[in-house]
Amino acid sequence: MSNFIPHDRAEVNNSVSGILVIDKPVGMTSHDVVQAVRNGTHLRRAGHTGTLDPRASGVLVLLLGPAVRLSEYVSTSTKRYQATLQLGFTTATYDLEGEVMGRSPVNITYEEFEEALKDFVGEFEQKPPAYSAIKIGGKKAYDLARKGEEVDLDPRMISVTSIDLLDWNPPEAMIDVECSSGTYIRSLVYDLGEKLGCGATLTALRRTRNGQFTMREAIPLRKLQEAFVNGDWYKYLIPAAEALSDWYTIELDEEALDEVRHGHRIPAAEVVESGKWARAISQDSELVALMQYDDDTHEWQPRKVFFQ
């Protein structure tokens, strides 16, 4: 957590760059949370790194200030969810928001359910739900679906690292899913119901990890809003460098830092694979730049520079 405490709003706008990991409550959109943080911090530059549906809760990573430039790297990180589902019926939206489309008797054993889960581990194509924010011709799919228009989205390749059964109380079950960015848990539950032959619907969803960040780092939004009022929200700010803590790291001395801040290449201390990316940090652990290795010259080339 950060100990940085600026003295006025101008200093806030000029110097804050970092991460807030929020435990999003059910009922709010991800944009609602971003707006609440903008209002509380008085920062215009703020954005999330992966949408959570209004009915979902859990880890929502927000980037503030210059750190928003890390969004494309953080948003593609692996996610982890705890999902509660109910067997025996399906809805148009694959969750409890939609109209019930069909019901079936449930005669599934614990062993059959666990066996079916195995078919959803690995890389495979998944068809996103019609009621999603994916755009078709500039319009969101769920807007078209709500108007009664037929929505047929192309399947996309996803990766599921693991699925574990946490609780079995038929017709309900709870599963833990670790997956790639872009995976729709609603679609996974729907497809699981199709495989079992009885249908299934997502009834609750909680994201427990987004990249490097878990519920351990997440601050409830209510508590963060109290900190906005008290003026001490900065204690929850995580340094931007932590967003890429699993990256190869280059620590810069003063001479190298000056070179990188001006966009100049620096020699590599060791040989790494061609095209490898790294985070360059100062001796104070501040994120300075994102670098890429050039094996022809054995140098690191700055690609994004953050140091001011």
Per residue in 245-286, pLDDT (tens digit) is: 889 999 999 999 999 999 999 999 999 999 999 999 999 888
> In this structure, are 83 and 206 located in the same domain?
yes
> In this structure, are 97 and 199 located in the same domain?
yes
> In this structure, are 164 and 193 located in the same domain?
yes
> In this structure, are 113 and 167 located in the same domain?
yes
Q: Whole-angstrom Cα distance, residue 108 to residue 224?
A: 43
Share the mean pLDDT of the chain.
90
| 1 located within any domain | no
> In this structure, are 168 and 226 located in the same domain?
no
Average pLDDT over residues 288-302: 95
Domain range for 289 is 247-305
Q: Is the pLDDT of residue 111 over 70?
A: yes
Res 42: pLDDT: 94
pLDDT in tens, 34-43: 999 999 999 9
Distance linking the first and last C-alpha atoms of the chain: 21
Q: Whole-angstrom Cα distance, residue 177 to residue 258?
A: 44
> In this structure, are 100 and 204 located in the same domain?
yes
Q: Whole-angstrom Cα distance, residue 303 to residue 56?
A: 35
**Where among 210, 230, 263 does a domain terminate?**
210
Catalytic amino acids? Answer: 53
Q: Is the pLDDT of residue 5 over 70?
A: no
> In this structure, are 226 and 256 located in the same domain?
no
> In this structure, are 72 and 216 located in the same domain?
yes
| 276 located within any domain | yes
pLDDT in tens, 116-132: 999 999 999 998 887 66
Res 223: pLDDT: 97
What is the domain-level CATH number for residue 270? 2.30.130.10
> In this structure, are 51 and 90 located in the same domain?
no
| 26 located within any domain | yes
Confidence band of 233 (pLDDT split at 50, 70, 90): very high
> In this structure, are 96 and 195 located in the same domain?
yes
| 114 located within any domain | yes
Identify the CA nearest to 243 among candidates 71, 116, 55.
Answer: 71
pTM of the model: 0.86
Which amino acid would we find at residue 282?
S
> In this structure, are 18 and 101 located in the same domain?
no
| 143 located within any domain | yes
